Amino acid sequence: MIGHLDEPLTNSTIYSSDIVCRGWAYSEEGITSIKIVIDGDEVGDAEYGLLRNDVKNAIPDYPNIEKSGFIFSKKIPLNIGLHQMKVKVYEKNGTLADLGEVVFHVSKKNIFSNKFSLGKFRIFNKKNIKNNLLESRKRVSFRYLDGNGVEIGALHNPLPVSGDAIVKYVDRFSFSELQKHYSDLDPQQMVKIDIIDDGEILSTIEDNSLDFIIANHFLEHCENPIGTIRNHLKKIKPGGILYYAIPEKNFTFDKNRTLTTFNHLVYDDADSPIISRKDHFYEWVTIVEDNSDTDSINSRVSGLMAMNYSIHYHVWDVETIFRFLDKTNDYLNNLFKVLHFEKNESEIIIVLQKKVLDK
């Protein structure tokens, strides 16, 4: 058995009860389960069989090693202090192997006692979170993006890119229409719209013409995310890049909503998103907007649908985003590979590369 424990790192600090463990493991005998043990207690099984093309590229001689990824994500209340995590791999021949062991620290951020200081502390940390988000996006962007591409739905927060990347901005509305739709945004900070198009389809853009497509916090707004990825892959050249950031539902107003299943997404891809549209708006109004009055709910749902308001149709957490990518690639006959997957504060940064098909 071979493998590696990627997260958490030894001596790392965790500030919440959201425990994430990820890595990869491979056995020629096959693996039945991967157990996570914290302080001697088994806390759950990791999701196994996730796509790890980086492992395949590094160790290409093992069959199906690209399916060796695993992830464990669960809320586990732990006391402040040091904790020990072990990852145990059960092989099909009955062998039990220890993949790795790390010691991590659970800490609680300082909270100032008086209200004035507490307010300053919260503002400070919001700024830090925003800066960290932007810096991580920029780091990944500079590494993978060059040539000519588009960014969909940038609004007031375009992705920073290097001087090697030329970006045109796409939105479904003109600048004036966007101002009406997003009246809370400062128009002085919004990007100039170069192309008016449906970002899920990009019908005005030629196939195989772009080096990259950027779509941050966009896939959750798509009624058919699988179809959107399929369309985006058509628009980029072989070897081209799709750069996505997807919000992790537990850090957003979606936290009380039900996770989107892959079967639901396949249903939406089968010409059915219009059928499920009203259900999505109903969930939005009753859970996100916390509306419990029947007449008010029906009126609000009808109003939002009439204006085609851009809600989060779908929601994921870290584990289901992993699973979504893996199953979508299988569903689309392995048209892409995952170059980068990173938890970035309250979101996940994903970089996909369109495969160069053999002639």
**pLDDT tens per residue across span 79-114:** 888 999 999 999 999 899 888 888 988 886 543 333
Evaluate whether residue 292 is within a structural domain. Answer: no
Does residue 80 sit in the same domain as residue 171?
A: no
Evaluate whether residue 229 is within a structural domain. Answer: yes
What pLDDT was estimated at residue 118? 34
Does residue 242 sit in the same domain as residue 334?
A: yes
Does residue 225 sit in the same domain as residue 345?
A: yes
Does residue 157 sit in the same domain as residue 212?
A: yes
Percent of the chain with pLDDT over 70: 91
CATH at 216: 3.40.50.150
* Of residues 313, 332, 322, 329, the one with CA closest to residue 222: 313
How far, in Å, CA of 283 to CA of 256, rounded?
A: 10
Does residue 146 sit in the same domain as residue 74?
A: no
How far, in Å, CA of 321 to CA of 22, rounded?
A: 13
Domain ranges, residue 172? 141-250+315-354
What pLDDT was estimated at residue 38? 94
Question: pLDDT tens digits for 203-259?
Answer: 999 999 999 999 999 999 999 999 999 999 999 999 999 999 999 998 889 989 999
What pLDDT was estimated at residue 179? 78
What pLDDT was estimated at residue 121? 34
Which stretches in the chain have pLDDT values below 70? 16, 108-132, 181, 271-275, 358-359
CATH at 91: 2.60.40.10
Does residue 195 sit in the same domain as residue 331?
A: yes
Last residue of a domain, one of 106, 122, 149: 106
Evaluate whether residue 309 is within a structural domain. Answer: no
What pLDDT was estimated at residue 14? 81
Per-residue CA distances from 217 to 70, 139, 214, 222, 338 (Å): 24, 18, 10, 10, 18
Evaluate whether residue 293 is within a structural domain. Answer: no
Evaluate whether residue 61 is within a structural domain. Answer: yes
Does residue 96 sit in the same domain as residue 146?
A: no
Q: How many structural domains comprise the chain? A: 2
What pLDDT was estimated at residue 125? 42
Evaluate whether residue 296 is within a structural domain. Answer: no
Question: pLDDT tens digits for 230-242?
Answer: 999 999 999 999 9
